[in-house]
Amino acid sequence: MDHAQYEEYVMTLIVQAGQCRSMLMTAIREAKQGNFDAADTLVAQAKEALKDAHHIQTQLIEYDEGEGKLPVHIVMVHAQDHLMNAVLLMDLAGEIIDLRRVTQQ
């Protein structure tokens, strides 16, 4: 993997994880307003973005093979932080939206 491809993968990881997080926060706000159809649609879209981010991460891991083939720059650490936050927010958003759904019935 050349440097340009590595940078593209890392930036795609950041973008996909960031989109996931943004959609989930919007879904939580929609649920707060009682717009559960919109919230559910946003969660489904966020799951696709998260799936894409995981795919990129898996490609990077497979290329590296645990042998340190890929450099770990601060931007890669930043990308992993974004992904970790997106995964955590996916779990939390589901719980928050479910709570909103129950309390508004």
Q: Could you list the active site residues?
A: 78
The token pair that represents 24 in the structure block: 């989930």
Would you say 11 and 80 are in contact if contact means Cβ atoms under 8 Å apart? no
Binding site listing for Mg(2+): 81
Binding site listing: 81
Instruction: Say how far residue 99 (Cα) sits from the centre of its chain.
Output: 22
Would you say 15 and 85 are in contact if contact means Cβ atoms under 8 Å apart? no
